[in-house]
Structure 1
Amino acid sequence: MDLLRWAVGSDIEEVHAYSNGYAATDFPLDDCYIYSCKFQNGCIGKVLVTSGCKGHGMGEGFLSIYGTEGTIWQNKLYTAQGGVEEIQFEKQDSIRLVSTHFIECVLGGQRPMIDVREGAKTVAALVAGVESAESGKPVKVFNEF
Protein backbone atom coordinates (compact mmCIF):
# COMPACT_ATOMS: atom_id res chain seq x y z
CA MET A 1 0.00 0.00 0.00
CA ASP A 2 2.85 2.39 0.79
CA LEU A 3 4.49 1.64 -2.57
CA LEU A 4 1.21 2.42 -4.33
CA ARG A 5 0.85 5.70 -2.40
CA TRP A 6 4.42 6.61 -3.38
CA ALA A 7 3.94 5.70 -7.07
CA VAL A 8 0.69 7.67 -7.35
CA GLY A 9 2.05 10.61 -5.34
CA SER A 10 -1.15 11.09 -3.39
CA ASP A 11 -2.93 10.05 -0.23
CA ILE A 12 -5.74 7.51 -0.42
CA GLU A 13 -9.15 9.09 0.06
CA GLU A 14 -11.41 6.03 0.13
CA VAL A 15 -11.10 2.23 0.10
CA HIS A 16 -13.57 -0.48 -0.88
CA ALA A 17 -12.29 -3.95 -0.03
CA TYR A 18 -13.29 -7.58 -0.04
CA SER A 19 -11.69 -10.48 1.80
CA ASN A 20 -12.07 -14.18 2.44
CA GLY A 21 -10.33 -16.98 4.25
CA TYR A 22 -10.82 -19.99 2.00
CA ALA A 23 -7.22 -20.97 1.23
CA ALA A 24 -5.54 -21.04 4.64
CA THR A 25 -8.33 -22.46 6.77
CA ASP A 26 -6.07 -22.87 9.82
CA PHE A 27 -5.21 -19.14 9.78
CA PRO A 28 -7.35 -17.13 12.26
CA LEU A 29 -7.88 -14.16 9.89
CA ASP A 30 -8.82 -13.79 6.25
CA ASP A 31 -5.94 -14.74 3.96
CA CYS A 32 -6.96 -12.83 0.84
CA TYR A 33 -7.78 -9.12 0.53
CA ILE A 34 -8.39 -6.97 -2.52
CA TYR A 35 -8.45 -3.23 -2.01
CA SER A 36 -9.84 -0.74 -4.54
CA CYS A 37 -8.48 2.70 -3.73
CA LYS A 38 -9.57 6.20 -4.72
CA PHE A 39 -6.77 8.75 -4.36
CA GLN A 40 -7.10 12.44 -3.50
CA ASN A 41 -5.54 13.40 -6.86
CA GLY A 42 -8.20 11.47 -8.82
CA CYS A 43 -6.16 8.33 -9.56
CA ILE A 44 -7.52 4.90 -8.75
CA GLY A 45 -5.61 1.76 -7.84
CA LYS A 46 -5.95 -1.73 -6.46
CA VAL A 47 -3.92 -3.92 -4.16
CA LEU A 48 -4.20 -7.70 -3.85
CA VAL A 49 -2.75 -9.29 -0.74
CA THR A 50 -2.90 -13.05 -0.43
CA SER A 51 -1.12 -15.57 1.71
CA GLY A 52 -3.19 -18.57 0.70
CA CYS A 53 -2.85 -18.67 -3.09
CA LYS A 54 -0.46 -21.08 -4.73
CA GLY A 55 0.88 -21.24 -8.26
CA HIS A 56 2.60 -19.17 -10.92
CA GLY A 57 3.29 -15.57 -9.98
CA MET A 58 2.25 -15.91 -6.36
CA GLY A 59 4.64 -14.44 -3.82
CA GLU A 60 6.61 -12.41 -6.35
CA GLY A 61 5.15 -9.02 -5.53
CA PHE A 62 5.11 -6.46 -8.31
CA LEU A 63 3.78 -3.05 -9.22
CA SER A 64 1.97 -2.32 -12.47
CA ILE A 65 1.12 1.23 -13.53
CA TYR A 66 -1.44 1.96 -16.25
CA GLY A 67 -1.64 5.50 -17.60
CA THR A 68 -2.73 7.60 -20.57
CA GLU A 69 0.79 7.67 -22.05
CA GLY A 70 1.68 4.05 -21.45
CA THR A 71 1.90 1.13 -19.06
CA ILE A 72 4.65 -0.24 -16.84
CA TRP A 73 4.24 -3.98 -16.36
CA GLN A 74 6.78 -6.63 -15.35
CA ASN A 75 9.77 -4.27 -15.76
CA LYS A 76 8.74 -3.11 -19.24
CA LEU A 77 7.41 0.24 -20.42
CA TYR A 78 4.73 -0.08 -23.10
CA THR A 79 4.14 3.33 -24.69
CA ALA A 80 0.89 4.59 -26.23
CA GLN A 81 2.76 4.74 -29.55
CA GLY A 82 3.41 0.98 -29.45
CA GLY A 83 7.01 0.99 -28.22
CA VAL A 84 8.36 -1.42 -25.64
CA GLU A 85 11.34 -0.60 -23.45
CA GLU A 86 12.99 -2.84 -20.85
CA ILE A 87 13.38 -1.14 -17.47
CA GLN A 88 16.56 -2.21 -15.68
CA PHE A 89 16.66 -2.25 -11.89
CA GLU A 90 19.62 -3.10 -9.74
CA LYS A 91 18.58 -5.99 -7.50
CA GLN A 92 19.09 -5.18 -3.85
CA ASP A 93 18.37 -6.82 -0.52
CA SER A 94 15.55 -4.51 0.57
CA ILE A 95 15.22 -6.06 4.04
CA ARG A 96 18.92 -5.41 4.71
CA LEU A 97 18.70 -1.84 3.36
CA VAL A 98 15.64 -0.97 5.44
CA SER A 99 17.10 -2.58 8.57
CA THR A 100 20.42 -0.76 8.14
CA HIS A 101 18.63 2.55 7.67
CA PHE A 102 16.52 1.92 10.80
CA ILE A 103 19.64 1.18 12.87
CA GLU A 104 21.35 4.33 11.52
CA CYS A 105 18.32 6.38 12.56
CA VAL A 106 18.14 4.90 16.06
CA LEU A 107 21.84 4.80 16.86
CA GLY A 108 23.19 7.58 14.67
CA GLY A 109 20.39 10.10 14.81
CA GLN A 110 19.85 10.01 11.05
CA ARG A 111 16.48 11.36 9.91
CA PRO A 112 14.16 8.59 8.61
CA MET A 113 13.48 8.63 4.86
CA ILE A 114 9.81 8.02 5.65
CA ASP A 115 8.39 9.77 8.69
CA VAL A 116 5.79 8.51 11.15
CA ARG A 117 2.98 10.48 9.47
CA GLU A 118 3.52 8.70 6.14
CA GLY A 119 3.54 5.36 7.92
CA ALA A 120 0.35 6.26 9.78
CA LYS A 121 -1.37 7.13 6.49
CA THR A 122 -0.51 3.70 5.09
CA VAL A 123 -1.79 1.98 8.24
CA ALA A 124 -4.97 4.11 8.11
CA ALA A 125 -5.62 2.97 4.52
CA LEU A 126 -5.13 -0.67 5.52
CA VAL A 127 -7.44 -0.32 8.53
CA ALA A 128 -10.07 1.33 6.31
CA GLY A 129 -9.78 -1.68 4.00
CA VAL A 130 -10.41 -4.14 6.83
CA GLU A 131 -13.41 -2.06 7.94
CA SER A 132 -14.71 -2.00 4.36
CA ALA A 133 -14.32 -5.76 3.97
CA GLU A 134 -16.26 -6.28 7.20
CA SER A 135 -19.06 -3.82 6.34
CA GLY A 136 -19.23 -4.40 2.58
CA LYS A 137 -19.17 -0.62 2.02
CA PRO A 138 -16.54 1.94 0.96
CA VAL A 139 -14.71 3.58 3.88
CA LYS A 140 -13.11 7.03 3.96
CA VAL A 141 -9.44 7.02 5.01
CA PHE A 142 -8.34 9.21 7.92
CA ASN A 143 -5.25 11.12 6.74
CA GLU A 144 -5.06 13.97 9.26
CA PHE A 145 -1.89 13.15 11.17
Structure 2
Amino acid sequence: MNPAIRLIRSSELSDAPYAYASVVDSTVRLVFLAGACPLEKDGTTAAVGDYAGQAAKCVETLTEALRAVGATLEDVVNTRVLVASSQRSDLGLVWEVVRDAFGDHDVPSTLMGVTVLGYEDQLVEIEAIAAVSH
Protein backbone atom coordinates (compact mmCIF):
# COMPACT_ATOMS: atom_id res chain seq x y z
CA MET A 1 0.00 0.00 0.00
CA ASN A 2 1.29 3.44 -0.93
CA PRO A 3 1.36 5.51 2.29
CA ALA A 4 1.02 8.76 0.30
CA ILE A 5 -2.50 7.72 -0.81
CA ARG A 6 -5.48 7.80 1.54
CA LEU A 7 -8.77 6.30 0.33
CA ILE A 8 -11.86 8.05 1.72
CA ARG A 9 -15.18 6.44 2.62
CA SER A 10 -18.27 7.97 4.20
CA SER A 11 -20.83 6.36 6.48
CA GLU A 12 -23.26 8.99 5.13
CA LEU A 13 -23.18 7.45 1.62
CA SER A 14 -24.16 4.03 0.29
CA ASP A 15 -21.74 1.18 0.95
CA ALA A 16 -20.18 1.16 -2.54
CA PRO A 17 -17.49 -1.41 -3.47
CA TYR A 18 -14.92 1.39 -3.88
CA ALA A 19 -13.68 4.48 -2.06
CA TYR A 20 -15.55 7.72 -2.76
CA ALA A 21 -12.40 9.84 -2.91
CA SER A 22 -8.66 9.64 -2.62
CA VAL A 23 -6.24 12.11 -1.09
CA VAL A 24 -2.64 12.25 -2.29
CA ASP A 25 0.22 13.63 -0.21
CA SER A 26 1.90 16.59 -1.92
CA THR A 27 5.32 14.93 -1.73
CA VAL A 28 4.51 12.55 -4.60
CA ARG A 29 4.56 12.89 -8.37
CA LEU A 30 1.20 12.48 -10.15
CA VAL A 31 1.18 10.32 -13.27
CA PHE A 32 -1.66 10.64 -15.78
CA LEU A 33 -1.89 7.50 -17.87
CA ALA A 34 -3.42 7.29 -21.33
CA GLY A 35 -6.35 4.93 -21.65
CA ALA A 36 -5.14 1.34 -21.41
CA CYS A 37 -6.51 -0.50 -24.43
CA PRO A 38 -6.86 -4.23 -25.11
CA LEU A 39 -4.14 -4.31 -27.73
CA GLU A 40 -1.61 -7.02 -28.46
CA LYS A 41 2.01 -6.01 -29.05
CA ASP A 42 1.43 -6.17 -32.83
CA GLY A 43 -1.42 -3.63 -32.51
CA THR A 44 -4.31 -6.05 -33.05
CA THR A 45 -7.26 -6.02 -30.68
CA ALA A 46 -7.19 -8.83 -28.11
CA ALA A 47 -10.19 -10.94 -27.11
CA VAL A 48 -12.52 -9.72 -29.86
CA GLY A 49 -16.14 -9.87 -28.68
CA ASP A 50 -15.15 -10.77 -25.09
CA TYR A 51 -15.78 -8.03 -22.49
CA ALA A 52 -14.02 -9.87 -19.64
CA GLY A 53 -11.09 -10.84 -21.85
CA GLN A 54 -10.62 -7.26 -23.03
CA ALA A 55 -10.90 -5.96 -19.46
CA ALA A 56 -8.15 -8.38 -18.40
CA LYS A 57 -5.95 -7.24 -21.31
CA CYS A 58 -6.57 -3.59 -20.37
CA VAL A 59 -5.48 -4.33 -16.79
CA GLU A 60 -2.36 -6.03 -18.18
CA THR A 61 -1.66 -2.98 -20.38
CA LEU A 62 -2.27 -0.60 -17.47
CA THR A 63 0.02 -2.64 -15.22
CA GLU A 64 2.81 -2.47 -17.82
CA ALA A 65 2.36 1.30 -18.33
CA LEU A 66 2.55 1.76 -14.55
CA ARG A 67 5.68 -0.40 -14.38
CA ALA A 68 7.30 1.86 -17.00
CA VAL A 69 6.99 4.81 -14.59
CA GLY A 70 8.02 2.83 -11.51
CA ALA A 71 4.49 2.29 -10.21
CA THR A 72 2.00 -0.50 -9.54
CA LEU A 73 -1.78 -0.80 -9.30
CA GLU A 74 -1.43 0.14 -5.61
CA ASP A 75 -0.17 3.58 -6.70
CA VAL A 76 -3.35 4.33 -8.67
CA VAL A 77 -5.58 7.00 -7.11
CA ASN A 78 -8.43 7.08 -9.62
CA THR A 79 -9.73 5.18 -12.66
CA ARG A 80 -12.29 5.62 -15.38
CA VAL A 81 -13.49 2.42 -17.03
CA LEU A 82 -15.12 2.80 -20.44
CA VAL A 83 -17.24 -0.01 -21.87
CA ALA A 84 -18.68 0.08 -25.40
CA SER A 85 -22.12 -1.18 -24.43
CA SER A 86 -25.50 0.03 -23.24
CA GLN A 87 -26.07 -3.19 -21.27
CA ARG A 88 -25.48 -2.96 -17.52
CA SER A 89 -24.58 -6.65 -17.49
CA ASP A 90 -21.60 -5.94 -19.80
CA LEU A 91 -20.49 -3.07 -17.58
CA GLY A 92 -20.84 -5.30 -14.50
CA LEU A 93 -18.76 -8.05 -16.10
CA VAL A 94 -15.96 -5.61 -16.89
CA TRP A 95 -16.15 -4.08 -13.42
CA GLU A 96 -15.70 -7.52 -11.79
CA VAL A 97 -12.43 -8.01 -13.68
CA VAL A 98 -11.15 -4.53 -12.78
CA ARG A 99 -12.27 -4.80 -9.14
CA ASP A 100 -10.59 -8.20 -8.78
CA ALA A 101 -7.34 -6.83 -10.23
CA PHE A 102 -7.26 -3.96 -7.73
CA GLY A 103 -8.29 -6.13 -4.75
CA ASP A 104 -8.34 -4.22 -1.47
CA HIS A 105 -6.98 -1.09 -3.18
CA ASP A 106 -10.49 -0.06 -4.22
CA VAL A 107 -9.76 3.41 -5.59
CA PRO A 108 -12.47 5.85 -6.67
CA SER A 109 -13.61 4.88 -10.14
CA THR A 110 -16.16 5.82 -12.75
CA LEU A 111 -17.69 3.03 -14.83
CA MET A 112 -19.48 4.18 -17.96
CA GLY A 113 -21.06 2.80 -21.07
CA VAL A 114 -20.06 4.55 -24.28
CA THR A 115 -21.12 4.24 -27.89
CA VAL A 116 -17.78 3.41 -29.44
CA LEU A 117 -14.08 3.29 -28.59
CA GLY A 118 -11.11 4.13 -30.81
CA TYR A 119 -9.80 0.80 -32.06
CA GLU A 120 -11.61 -1.66 -34.28
CA ASP A 121 -13.42 -4.30 -32.17
CA GLN A 122 -12.46 -2.47 -28.95
CA LEU A 123 -14.96 -2.92 -26.11
CA VAL A 124 -13.02 -1.72 -23.02
CA GLU A 125 -10.57 1.02 -22.02
CA ILE A 126 -9.21 1.99 -18.59
CA GLU A 127 -7.85 5.45 -17.77
CA ALA A 128 -5.90 5.99 -14.54
CA ILE A 129 -4.08 8.52 -12.41
CA ALA A 130 -1.28 7.31 -10.13
CA ALA A 131 0.85 8.84 -7.39
CA VAL A 132 4.52 7.88 -7.36
CA SER A 133 7.10 8.75 -4.70
CA HIS A 134 10.00 10.92 -5.86
**What TM-score results when the alignment is normalised by the length of structure 2?**
0.22
Tell me the TM-score normalized by structure 1. Answer: 0.21
Higher relative contact order by CA 8 Å / sep ≥ 6: 1 or 2? 2
